[in-house]
Amino acid sequence: MKKLLTLGLATMLWTAQANSANIDINDLISAAQDQAQSQFKMLSEDLSSMLSYKAITPAEPLGILGIDLGIDFSYTELANPEVLENATGGDITLKGMLVPKLHAFKGLPFGLDVGAVYAAIPTTEIKFWGAELRYAILSGGIALPAVAVRLAHTQLNGVPTLDFSSNSLDVSISKGFLMFTPYAGIGMVRSNSKANIDAGPIELKAEEIDQMKTFAGLNLNLGLMNLVYEFDMTGEAQTHSMKFGFRF
């Protein structure tokens, strides 16, 4: 297990170094020209899949004393990688993007949890933050699963030519067995994407993207360490995530 985790972490860090890209909508317009609007929409869809909120945690509430802290790596297999290549001036040649993030969750009374995430993709200007409020309809127990509803928001920073944000609503279910807690969920993501560029020969209209979201994962709690794997399908893009941290 230790060797697999070390190998996985090393691979993720190597991939992050290869993700050298700075998104510039002017580059997209120059490369796409007559197809600029359609490519801007496809870029917005991929960014929604990549940057929308991924909690990577079970549905069961933490409780008033509970805390969940971790670092995670999410790799999104882009549905339209050639569009991102156009938007970065040809700097991207990969089929996906790896996003390293810091996560923090805190349990509150009455089955509520709050969470926050911050990400800065190495060798790029891409940064974003997110926040969530989660309510456990069922807290779970020996016989019953936990069921929770989550509202979340993310906001892109660091890309001067693009204003992008997403809001999501999902329902998740989980059930613990010894140290293992599998979970799954479904929801919707609405993203707003607007080009922030000077007026030119091509004017891009803002895009409002609605995508279905499904996800499933497995939480492994080893006492001093908590590990989570999650698979997410938002729109047409798949995301694989691993989180390493503490949950108690």
Least confident of 11-25, 62-76, 142-156, 205-219: 11-25
**What is the pTM assigned to this prediction?**
0.88
Q: Backbone phi, then psi, for 201, in 5-degree steps?
A: -65, -25
pLDDT band for position 2 (50/70/90)?
very low
| Domain 2-247 CATH class label | mainly beta
Reduced to 3 states (helix: H, G, I; strand: E, B; else coil), residue 16 is helix
d(CA 23, CA 47): 11
User: Euclidean distance between the first and final Cα of the chain, in Å?
Assistant: 22
Average pLDDT of the chain, as a whole number = 88
Domain boundaries, the chain: 2-247
Q: What is the dihedral of CA 44, 26, 99, 60, to 10 degrees?
A: -30
Scan for tokens 């909508």, then name that residue: 25
**Residue 17 in contact with residue 72, Cβ under 8 Å?**
no
